């Protein structure tokens, strides 16, 4: 096992970070962008539900983001909220009412007009039809939603029963993208087959859940986000998404010209991609970095000393150097470094195995005959539930398993297919769970760690954390909100509710024939400005 991980490390060192773009990805050929052509994109995982509200994986969001517009957008460079379907908005002083003034002349791909009723029906359907099990992120953004009124056809007034300052950023996400009435009237399961109707620059031509998707450009599109580089319709005529699970096959298809861009370009793939004139574009995901979330009601993880010992027992830099490569970075806190409101807590995450041993010694966990610690007849052992949504998860956890054994902690790896993973998460049937979640707003802490959120820690009240999470929803002052989000990060780490490991990065391989494949603020792809050099 160690030899296999070490081999990945040798390959990772071949990846030179300076060869990676982090922004627009503009190629060398001169001249203005050329409209037309079909972009052939290779996904690393199969797309799931075609409904943006129900999209969960990055690979699915790469598809669904293109067919739906949002009320607002978020500038990936600054984090600022800017106009999109809403030309302007007002927020009430108590952050409970949000009034959006819609852009006139917007239509959905079925020809119907965008109105305030469309906004109401979109949000009502998430709360009343999809529910949290089908659309957990979208539902969390709408917690406390009491309804949307329409004073006139182009004014939507969205109300909540308590302050909800995160909502302006939430409505920039694809999960709260606005859909036509023909879609929002359907039951949840009937919104996954590619019939979803948005107002975005592309629409579905074909969708095979778990297999492929084809998008076509919308003629006459003229209401792009303020973040977009050009006005009018998208440049591409068509985008064809296929699923190519094997990294080597994706790279070979890109280098041979069978594909124009691919997901999850690995370090060892970079030389082949660059040799064919292509490049690797990289961006870090905002949100909660990968980490272990302990269930505080089960096994040894009920002991705060065990959770505290896990922090210095993990060598995060070794995870990056050995398993991933330099386009990734160790987690430095409870939020990823690109997240607005991020606080650097790396001083609490330094690798110090002797400190971990001392914490466990003082708490009465004594080494057993096999090296694993024991207290009151109970071994210091727990399971970690995880999925393969990120290809590096198993190798990372295998290395963590080795690191923790050196201080007397045993973890059992529990890989699960998506359906089992989701079911066990929802029923909180785990000792600990390993994952990350992407969002370009510190309110993701409320979603993950709040008593009214997922609360996968199965925790009771923690006053300093609960006060910070409720406080950040009440204030619209950016500085005050950032301070509260900072307090929440410190409390999450101090109470052992999250054991950070590494920050997720998106690395895509792009052909020499493609320019301006862009990452939006949440590190998902946006193809509106993308164009092809070939005819």
Q: What is the pLDDT of residues 289-346, one digit of tens each?
A: 999 999 999 999 999 999 999 999 999 999 999 998 888 999 999 999 999 999 999 9
The pLDDT mean for the chain works out to: 92
Contact 109, 217 (CB under 8 A): no
Q: How confident is the model at residue 422 (pLDDT cuts 50, 70, 90)?
A: confident
- 24: helix, coil or strand? coil
- Taking the C-alpha atoms of residue 67 and residue 214, their distance in angstroms, rounded to an integer, is 11
What does the pLDDT read at residue 327?
84
User: For residue 207, what are the β-bridge partners?
Assistant: 213
pLDDT category at 23 given cuts 50, 70, 90 is very low
Distance CA 107, CA 202 (A): 12
Say if residues 469 and 487 touch (Cβ distance below 8 Å): no
**Considering only CA atoms, which of 328, 329, 333, 330 is closest in space to residue 348?**
333
CA dist., res. 106 & res. 216, Å (int):
18
- Span 313-322, pLDDT tens digits: 999 999 999 9
The answer for residues whose C-beta is within 8 angstroms of residue 268's C-beta and 6 or more apart is: 11, 12, 14, 15
Mean pLDDT of 90-109: 97
Overall average pLDDT of the 70-87 stretch: 96
Q: Find out whether 282 and 329 touch, Cβ atoms under 8 Å.
A: no
The span from the CA of 265 to the CA of 367, in Å, is: 42
**pLDDT surpasses 90 at 155:** yes
Instruction: Report the C-alpha gap between 126 and 453 in whole angstroms.
Output: 16
Cβ–Cβ < 8 Å for 520, 514 = no
pLDDT for 1 beyond 90: no
**pLDDT band per the 50, 70, 90 thresholds, residue 453:** confident
pLDDT value at position 391?
79
Count how many residues are written for the chain: 535
Is residue 435 a contact partner of residue 386, using CB atoms and an 8 Å limit?
Answer: yes
**Cα 7 from chain centroid (whole Å):** 28
Q: DSSP 3-state assignment of 505?
A: strand
Check whether 6 has a pLDDT greater than 80: no
Q: Is the pLDDT of residue 24 over 50?
A: no
Predicted confidence at residue 268, as pLDDT, reads 84
Band of pLDDT at residue 3, cut at 50, 70 and 90: very low
On the question of pLDDT at 388 being above 90, the answer is no
pLDDT at position 4 is 32
Q: Is the pLDDT of residue 275 over 90?
A: yes
The CB density around residue 219, as the number of other CB atoms within 10 Å, is 8
Partnered with residue 102 across adjacent β-strands are 86
Whether the Cβ atoms of residue 510 and residue 519 lie closer than 8 Å to each other: no
Task: Identify the band that residue 85 occupies on the pLDDT scale cut at 50, 70 and 90.
Answer: very high
- Helices (runs of H) and strands (runs of E) counted in the chain: 17, 28
Rounded mean pLDDT of 393-421?
A: 96
Report yes or no: 5 and 399 within 8 Å, Cβ to Cβ: yes
Tokens of 259: 């594909």
């Amino acid at each position: 096992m160690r030899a296999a991980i070490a081999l990945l490390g040798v390959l990772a060192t071949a990846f030179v970070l300076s060869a990676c773009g982090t922004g627009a990805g503009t190629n060398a050929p001169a001249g203005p962008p050329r409209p037309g052509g079909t972009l052939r994109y290779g996904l690393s995982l199969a797309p799931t539900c075609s409904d943006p509200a129900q999209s969960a994986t990055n690979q699915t969001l790469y598809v669904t983001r293109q067919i739906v517009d949002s009320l607002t957008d978020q500038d990936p460079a600054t984090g600022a909220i800017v106009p999109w379907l809403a030309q302007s908005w007002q927020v009430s002083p108590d952050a409970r009412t949000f009034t959006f003034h819609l852009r006139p002349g917007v239509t959905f791909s079925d020809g119907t007009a965008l109105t305030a009723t469309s906004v109401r029906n979109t949000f009502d359907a998430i709360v009343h039809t999809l529910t949290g099990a089908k659309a957990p992120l979208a539902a969390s953004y709408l917690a406390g939603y009491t309804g949307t009124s329409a004073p006139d056809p182009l004014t939507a007034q969205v109300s909540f029963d308590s302050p909800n300052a995160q909502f302006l950023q939430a409505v920039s996400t694809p999960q709260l993208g606005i859909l036509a009435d023909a879609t929002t009237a359907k039951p949840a399961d009937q919104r996954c087959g590619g019939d979803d109707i948005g107002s975005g620059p592309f629409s579905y031509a074909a969708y095979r859940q778990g297999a492929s998707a084809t998008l076509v450009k919308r003629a006459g599109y003229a209401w792009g986000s303020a973040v977009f580089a050009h006005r009018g319709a998208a440049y591409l005529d068509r985008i064809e998404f296929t699923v190519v699970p094997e990294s080597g096959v994706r790279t070979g298809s890109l280098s041979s010209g069978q594909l124009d861009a691919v997901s999850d370009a690995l370090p060892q793939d970079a030389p082949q991609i660059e040799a064919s004139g292509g490049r690797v574009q990289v961006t870090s995901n905002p949100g909660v970095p990968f980490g272990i979330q302990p269930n505080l009601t089960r096994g040894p993880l009920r002991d705060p000393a065990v959770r505290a010992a896990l922090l210095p027992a993990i060598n995060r830099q070794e995870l990056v150097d050995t398993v991933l490569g330099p386009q990734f970075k160790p987690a430095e806190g409870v939020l990823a470094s690109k997240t607005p409101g991020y606080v650097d807590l790396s001083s609490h995450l330094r690798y110090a195995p002797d400190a971990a041993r001392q914490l466990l010694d003082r708490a009465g966990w004594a080494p057993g005959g096999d090296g694993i610690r024991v207290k009151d007849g109970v071994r210091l052992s727990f399971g970690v539930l995880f999925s393969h949504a990120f290809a590096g998860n198993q190798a990372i956890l295998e290395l963590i398993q080795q690191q923790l054994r050196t201080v007397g902690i045993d973890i059992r790896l529990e890989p699960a297919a998506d359906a089992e993973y989701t079911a066990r998460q929802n029923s909180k049937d785990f000792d600990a769970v390993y994952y990350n979640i992407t969002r370009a707003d510190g309110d993701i802490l409320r979603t993950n760690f709040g008593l009214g959120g997922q609360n996968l820690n199965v925790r009771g009240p923690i006053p300093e954390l609960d006060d910070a999470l409720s406080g950040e929803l009440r204030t619209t002052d950016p500085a005050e909100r950032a301070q509260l989000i900072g307090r929440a990060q410190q409390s999450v780490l101090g109470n052992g509710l999250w054991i950070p490991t590494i920050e997720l990065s998106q690395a895509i391989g792009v052909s020499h024939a493609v320019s301006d494949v862009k990452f939006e603020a949440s590190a998902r792809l946006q193809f509106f400005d993308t164009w092809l050099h070939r005819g």
